Amino acid sequence: MNILISPDLDSLSTRASEIVIAAIRAKPDVVLGLPTGRTPLGLYERLVHAHRERGLDFSRVTTFNLDEYVGLSPDDPRSYHAYMREHLLDHVNIPEGRAHIPDGSCERPGEHCAEYEAGIRQAGGIDMQVLGIGVNGHLGFNEPGASLAAGTHVTALAPETIQANAYAFGTEEHVPHLAVTVGLGTIMHARRCVLMAAGEAKADAVRAAVEGPVTASCPASILQMHPSAVALLDEAAACHLERLDFYRHQQRTWEALADRL
């Protein structure tokens, strides 16, 4: 995994936006896999800004979101549908039919997952999968113990995820216990993966993901097996990494060689 450390979430968000914007400019019909949560808010803000101020065109971009809570309808303000509308979709020109988010209110979640997975395949697969990470190392809602090879599926949420996401629901009791998530197998088929992690609360999960064994106990560790994964970290999220000095050295070397590699 390529490790790039930024001083804080702001500069990390700028770096992430530069990567996503470059992907859209290089391939206007790019297929993006997108996360929710607090970490990517600055990324979405910068993408909206690039659309408004720099003419970044999303008209041929296709997006597939990673996950959604089971039981929430797309117009529920706590749903990831609402989150995506608020932070990205209402502000850029992605045609409605090209923005895909799992439907947590569907009657047959199993069938819906299979259709969602088929939709990703029909779109030609995900070119760039942007990811956050849970405090327990989850990707999307692939919790510890998840299959490292699964496609889109229904999953139970781990207690620590329910606790971490309670802020959006008022109290823990109101957090749904099930979710639809794109699986780790699908994530691993993406051509590039961009993991974003900020804050000290993520430092242990980041260390396990980057330097620990590849294990379902830390789902994000599967990215060590990905041929083109980059971890964008802020200083706080990187602070438990054992080989931090080496990653910094490597980063300086890459930055110096950037136009020759």
* CB distance 220 to 137 below 8 Å: yes
Helix or strand holding residue 155 (H, E):
strand 153-156
Q: Is 161 in the site for ligand GLP (CB under 6 A)?
A: yes
Select from 37, 102, 137, 151 the one that contacts ligand GLP (CB under 6 A): 37
Active-site residue identified among 81, 112, 138, 226: 138
Select from 39, 79, 136, 186 the one that contacts ligand GLP (CB under 6 A): 39
CB of 146 to ligand GLP, least distance (A): 12
Distances (CA, A) of 69 to 101, 132, 186: 11, 16, 19
Q: List 233's β-bridge partners, or say none.
A: 5, 197
Select from 6, 136, 152, 165 the one that contacts ligand GLP (CB under 6 A): 165
Q: How big is the site for ligand GLP, counted in residues (CB under 6 A)?
A: 14
Tokens of 236: 């706080």
Q: Is 66 in the site for ligand GLP (CB under 6 A)?
A: yes
* Cβ closest to ligand GLP, residue 134 vs residue 183: 134
Q: Is 259 labeled as catalytic in the residue annotation?
A: no
Q: Is 104 in the site for ligand GLP (CB under 6 A)?
A: no
User: Rounded to an integer, what distance in angstroms lies between the CA atom of residue 261 and that of residue 259?
Assistant: 6
Buried b (16+ CB within 10 A) or exposed e, 69-99: bbebebeeebbbbbbbbebbbebbebeeebb
Binding site for ligand GLP (CB under 6 A): 35-39, 66-67, 132-134, 140-141, 161, 165
Active site residues: 67, 136, 138, 143
